[in-house]
Structure 1
C-alpha cells in the first residue's frame, strides 16, 4: 500500500508568573550651568547606586544584579516661538538597570525612586530565572513532539490509515519544504510591566505571566 505523508506542527505553551524584574531608569538634569547639571546627576546617581548596593548586600538580597552607564553630557541652543536662538542649555544623564528577585521590594523601590527629582523610570522587564526557563523550554518541546504525534495519528485515522511512522522532526521552518512557523514569537516571551495605584496609593505592579513556547514541525508516513 502506498504511504501517505502527513506534516504537522506540534505546540505546547507553559505560562508561569515572573520570577525576576529588571527596572530601567534614567537620571537626568538640564540647565544653563554645565557644572551644576553634571553635579546634580552625579549626586543622584550616587544616591541610587548606594540604595542598590544596600539591597544587593542584605542578608536576604532583593537585587541580583545591576549596571550603570557613564554620564552623558551634551549641549544645545533651543529656539523660541519667534525663531530666535536662545542661550545654550546643558544636559546630563545616566541610565541604570537593576534586576530584582524580590518583586515586592521592587515595587517599593520603584515607588520611591519615581518621585525623586530628575529620575525617570523607563519600564520594567519581567522574566523567569535561567534555570526555570531552560527546564520549561525542554518540557514544552517534549510536549510539542507528543502533540505532533497525536495530530499526525488523528489525521491518519481520518484517512482510514492505522500505521504512523515518524520521518523527520525539526524546529519550525527547518524541514526544507517551505514550512514556516505559524507565530513569529520566540521560545520565551518577556512580559511587559503593568503599573497602577493600589490600596493606600502604593504602586501596584502586575506583570503578565511569562509564556514559554514549544513548537516543532514533524513529518510522518502513514499507511
Structure 2
C-alpha cells in the first residue's frame, strides 16, 4: 500500500469506529446424549441403536424447522467388576451424542421436552446464535464505518477544517459480543427416564438476544486547518 505522509498542506486524522447491535437470535442448538446399559455387549448396542433411531426420527419429524442434525461421538465401554481379580466385566455402558440446530423457535420448546422425555436421554442447551451470513453482521460494519466518519469529521471541524479524502479503512475486528451464547457453560440440562405415556407440556423458552460488534480504523486527509 502506498504511504501518504502527512504534511502541513495535507494533515491526516486517524480514528476508530465501532458498531454494536442487539438482535434476536436466528438459530438455537441443542445437544442430545443417549445412553444404554446392560450386562451383554450386543444388547447394549442394540438398545443404543434403537434409542438413536428414535431420537433422530423425532428430530427429523420437525421438517424445515431443523437446520442441521449431526451425530457426534459414540462409545461403548466395559464396566469392570468392583471386586475380584483379573479383567472381569460386570456390564457395558454406551453413549451416542447428537447435535441439532433449529430455526423455528416455536417448535423448539416442544422438541426439547419430547427428547428429554425419552428413556435414558440427556438434553443440553439451547445455545442461541446468528447465521454466519446474518444481515446483522453487515449492519454492524456499516454502523462502525459511519461512526468513524462522524468522529473524523468532528475532529476536523474542531480545527476549522474539512475531510478531503479517505486514505485507509481497515477492519480491526468483528465478533460476538457478551450476548452471543454458546457452549460451554450456557443453556440448561435435562435428563430423566420416561415413565409416563402422556406427552409432557412444551417448555416455554425465551430466545436470548445477541450482541453483534464491529470495529474499523480509518485514516483521512483533511484540508489545512484554520489555526
Report TM bin, short chain. Answer: 0.7 to 0.9
1:136 aligns with 2:136: yes
Q: Which moved further from structure 2: 69-78 or 26-35?
A: 69-78
Q: Show structure 1 runs of 4+ deviating over 6 A.
A: none
Q: Which of 19, 25, 36 is matched with 2:26 structurally?
A: 19
CA contact (8 A) 1:23 1:121 kept: yes
Following superposition, the deviation at residue 78 of structure 1 comes to 6.8
Change (3 A) 1:157 1:86: farther
Aligned twin of 2:125: 123
Distance in 2 (alpha carbons) for counterparts of 1:169 and 1:30: 59
Gapped regions of structure 2 (runs ≥ 5)? 1-6, 190-199
Aligned twin of 2:161: 162
Aligned twin of 1:177: none
Gapped regions of structure 1 (runs ≥ 5)? 173-180
More helix by share: 1
Q: Deviations over 1:194-215 (max 9, x none)?
A: 569xxx9752322321233222
Q: Which moved further from structure 2: 119-128 or 100-109?
A: 119-128
C-alpha RMSD of the superposition: 3.2
TM-score by length of 2: 0.73
Aligned twin of 2:49: 42
Aligned twin of 1:178: none
Alignment of 1:3-14 (within 5 A): 3-14=10-21
Alignment of 1:65-214 (within 5 A): 65-69=68-72, 71-77=74-80, 87-129=89-131, 131=133, 133=134, 135-158=135-158, 160-164=159-163, 165-172=165-172, 186=175, 190-192=180-182, 194=187, 202-214=202-214
Q: Deviations over 1:60-90 (max 9, x none)?
A: x33233122464222243768xxxx984442
The structure number with the bigger radius of gyration is 2
CA contact (8 A) 1:71 1:94 kept: yes
Following superposition, the deviation at residue 27 of structure 1 comes to 0.6
Distance in 2 (alpha carbons) for counterparts of 1:195 and 1:91: 24
Distance in 1 (alpha carbons) for counterparts of 2:130 and 2:81: 44
Q: Deviations over 1:141-161 (max 9, x none)?
A: 122111101111222333x24
Q: Classify the secondary structure of the residue corresponding to 1:64.
A: strand
Q: Classify the secondary structure of the residue corresponding to 1:203.
A: coil
TM-score by length of 1: 0.74
Q: How many residues align?
A: 201
Distance in 2 (alpha carbons) for counterparts of 1:101 and 1:10: 32
